[in-house]
Structure 1
Amino acid sequence: MKLSTIAVFFVITAFAAPAFGQNIAWFNPNKLLKNSAAGKKVIASQQTLQKKFENERKAAEKPLQTEKDQIEKDWKAFQENQSVLNAKERKKRLAALKSRYDNWVEKVKKIQVKLAKLQQKLSADFQKVAEPFSVKMKKAAASVAASNGYAYIIAHDPANPTVLLYAKPSLDVTEKIIALLGE
């Protein structure tokens, strides 16, 4: 029991010592994106690329949906009329339906591969826009930290806290970073 208490005390003091006396500030990355011209460009780029993907997806899926609907319609008609068909005709129509369905499945797979490649390309295109913003943002945060004596600046969204569950509003340096981004 004593050993574990000493170990806990050691761990707490080991991690607390470097942070003691250090100034910490935070910024809201969502606010930064929405309120800076550079951030707005990143958002606009993301929306444009997302819209492009959605348009491509819809254009690719529409004929497949039409074909699927027709196969289902023909399948229902086959099921309703199979009792009046002789065995040879039933087998022939069933084989034709199966072949159409198999072809449709292959088309779906090809479209999925095509859309996955498109999504990868659009993601790479987005990174080309987002990376310069990220570099600029990090430089601005470093400048705010240096000029205000902050040891750490943490990204924190008060509306959706994930790591930092609370941040003192007076330590928010988002506006300073926006100003340094030249907006």
Structure 2
Amino acid sequence: MYNEALKQLKIGNEYYVTHNCNPAVFDNAKRRELTEHGQKPYAIIVTCGDSRVPAEHLFSAGLGDLFVIRNAGNVISPIDIGSAEYAAEHLGTSLLVVLGHTHCGAVAATLEGDGESYIRSITDEIKEAIQEEKDPRKCEWLNAKNSVKKLLQSPILSHLKETNKLNILAGMYDIESGRVVFED
């Protein structure tokens, strides 16, 4: 179930790194199939809105493969929780990955003390995650892991995890190498 989904993400990322292209065919037949039979994504990816982090490409995924939730800093809001609950409960997706990335602008803004207007809601969440840590790479991991903890506050998601119907974990995308590493 979720182990197979994680394996598929790893294989897709390896293909992305070694071939630097997306093998998925986006043809009319696939679109028709998804329209007629609905979506059955194999993974939910909560990731940053950063344009350098295109989840479908990173995992060589095609139409209908991933349920992607994006926002600045991959922080978790009630809307993100609701979206994840929908994908896990109603679409039957068995893997949820919070995908952070290196050189994250939201983490950098938090470390630099930036945060005017609406961005403050993002940097405040990240500050809660990183506490006193100053190393950007460690902060990016702490932020992703904190988002996993926030998702587990959902009774629906935590129940699905407890009953082995959903695995929730953090991952980190290195924007320089293209590699994704998943937490153990």
Q: Is TM-score (shorter-chain normalized) higher than 0.5?
A: no
Q: TM-score range by the shorter chain?
A: under 0.3
The structure with the greater share of residues assigned to strand is: 2
- TM-score w.r.t. the length of structure 2 is 0.21
- TM-score w.r.t. the length of structure 1 is 0.21
Q: 1 or 2 for the larger relative contact order (CA 8 Å, sep ≥6)?
A: 1
| Structure with the greater alpha carbon radius of gyration | 1
The structure with the greater share of residues assigned to helix is: 1
